[in-house]
């Protein structure tokens, strides 16, 4: 037997094994790893997906929190798990496409160590102002920031998180003199903004809506491509004349690299059935997330794009993990 025939047989054998695995999959509980502490948007969304996957796949799906190091611990756990489809990751953009650029060392490679299954949803960010700030539009915020040599500060939920990146992108693309003030959480950033400790804040839409509706905070613009139903009167950065500030935070589902393709397809089909349901749209909509059913290939392309995009922003801003 020549080398070419041998390789062909190996390839066919791999396909056969993958088909068998997909046919029998799943036949035992699945562990869905959430790389953050309970209570946040990623945790709530991940637990809902676990519950729904259990119904679709006919086995128990256990949602497990493995938090620490900005999601790196949980992500590393999945990256090193058996690639059989029984250990999955609820991936967060901050962990997978920002952390690789802000941490000196990271225990996984986003593109090499994971097999993308599908994106769960996108979450818009919003730029807010304390009502005392004499700026109501993005243009006015930029102008106000340039009046003071010290710049205009904006609160975020931490160093290197997506809201921080969005603020740096706005700074880089417009020349605005903005200064990031990291808080321990998005909730604390909002409290600081309401109290007047900072004039602005970049945060996830879900945590800000109630304060905008009550008039406690003034919305400047959102980072979505179109206006969101929960705040229909708030313009996008695109409408405001800044099309490059269309930054979305996201969560998605991934498996360890080398998980058989038929297994990936099976989970993707179940995930997309969930995301296309009205119940899921309402559930995630309440969290400020727009469901985004897609293919594993498309999700992989987005991972590559975001890794390149954020690398440039992080390097220019000189952001390093604390």
List the chain domain ranges: 3-122+249-317, 124-222
Which two tokens mark 296?
């594993």
The alpha carbon of 92 is separated from its chain's Cα centroid by a whole number of angstroms, namely 4
CATH superfamily of 124-222: Periplasmic binding protein-like II (3.40.190.10)
Q: Which CATH number fits domain 3-122+249-317: 3.40.50.20, 3.40.190.150, 3.60.15.10, 3.30.70.270?
A: 3.40.190.150
pLDDT value at position 233?
94
Which of 9, 77, 65, 6 is CA-nearest to residue 36?
A: 65
* Distance in angstroms (rounded) separating the CA atoms of residues 110 and 249: 16
Band (pLDDT 50/70/90 cuts) for residue 21 is low
Q: What is the percentage of the chain residues whose pLDDT exceeds 90?
A: 81
- pLDDT (average), residues 122-146: 96
Q: DSSP characters for 10-24?
A: HHHHHHHHHHHHHHH
| pLDDT recorded at residue 10 | 54
Residue 1 predicted with pLDDT over 60: no
pLDDT tier at 143, thresholds 50, 70, 90: very high
Q: With 70 as the cut, is the pLDDT of residue 49 above it? A: yes
Q: pLDDT tens, 228-273?
A: 888 999 999 999 999 999 888 999 999 999 999 999 999 999 999 9
Q: What average pLDDT does this structure show over 143-164? A: 94
Q: What are the residue ranges of helices labelled H in 175-243?
A: 186-194, 209-213
Task: Indicate the pLDDT class of residue 12, thresholds 50, 70 and 90.
Answer: low
Q: What is the pLDDT of residue 15?
A: 52
Which one, of 48, 49, 97, lies nearest residue 72 by Cα?
A: 97
Segments in 58-153 forming alpha helices (H): 72-79, 93, 99-102, 138-147
The tens digit of pLDDT for each residue in 71-101 reads 999 999 999 999 999 999 999 999 999 999 9
Name the residue with higher pLDDT: 285 or 102.
102
- Give the predicted TM-score (pTM) of the model: 0.86
Q: Six-digit token pair at 151?
A: 């710049």
pLDDT in tens, 308-318: 999 999 999 99
pLDDT (0 to 100) of residue 61: 98
Task: Fill in the DSSP letter of residue 236.
Answer: B
Are 3-122+249-317 and 124-222 equal in CATH topology?
A: yes
Is residue 20 scored above 60 in pLDDT?
no
Q: Count Cβ atoms within 10 A of the Cβ of residue 197 and give its class: 0-12 exposed, 13-18 middle, 19 or more buried.
A: middle
pLDDT tens-digit readout, 154-209: 999 999 999 999 999 999 999 999 999 999 888 899 999 999 999 999 998 888 99
**Mean pLDDT, the chain, integer:** 92
Q: Two tokens at 225? A: 């491509």
């Amino acid at each position: 037997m020549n080398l070419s025939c041998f390789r062909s047989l190996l390839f066919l054998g791999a396909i056969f094994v993958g088909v068998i695995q997909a046919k029998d999959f799943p036949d035992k509980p699945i562990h869905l790893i959430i790389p953050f502490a309970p209570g946040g948007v990623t945790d709530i969304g991940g637990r809902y997906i676990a519950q729904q996957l259990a119904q679709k796949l006919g086995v128990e799906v256990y949602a497990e929190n493995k938090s620490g190091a900005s999601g790196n611990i949980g992500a590393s756990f999945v990256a090193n798990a058996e690639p059989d489809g029984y250990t999955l990751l609820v991936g967060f953009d901050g962990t997978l496409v920002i952390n690789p650029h802000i941490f000196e060392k990271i225990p996984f490679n986003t593109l090499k160590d994971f097999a993308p299954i599908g994106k769960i949803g996108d979450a818009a960010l919003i730029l807010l102002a304390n009502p005392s700030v004499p700026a109501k539009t993005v243009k006015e915020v930029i102008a106000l920031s340039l009046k003071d040599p010290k710049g205009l500060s904006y609160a975020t939920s931490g160093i290197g998180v997506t809201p921080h990146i969005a603020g740096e992108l706005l700074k880089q693309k417009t020349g605005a003199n903005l200064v990031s003030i990291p808080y321990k959480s998005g909730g604390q950033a909002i409290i600081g903004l309401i109290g007047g400790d900072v004039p602005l804040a970049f945060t996830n839409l879900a945590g800000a809506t109630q304060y905008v509706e009550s008039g406690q905070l003034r919305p400047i613009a959102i980072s979505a491509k179109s206006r969101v139903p929960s705040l229909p009167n708030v313009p996008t950065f695109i409408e405001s004349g800044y099309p490059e500030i269309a930054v979305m935070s996201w969560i998605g589902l991934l498996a360890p690299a080398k998980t058989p393709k038929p297994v990936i397809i099976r989970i993707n089909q179940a995930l997309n059935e969930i995301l296309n349901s009205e119940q899921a749209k309402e559930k995630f909509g309440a969290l400020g997330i727009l469901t985004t059913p897609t293919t594993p290939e498309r999700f992989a392309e987005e991972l590559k794009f975001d890794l390149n995009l954020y690398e440039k922003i992080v390097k220019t801003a000189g952001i390093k993990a604390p």
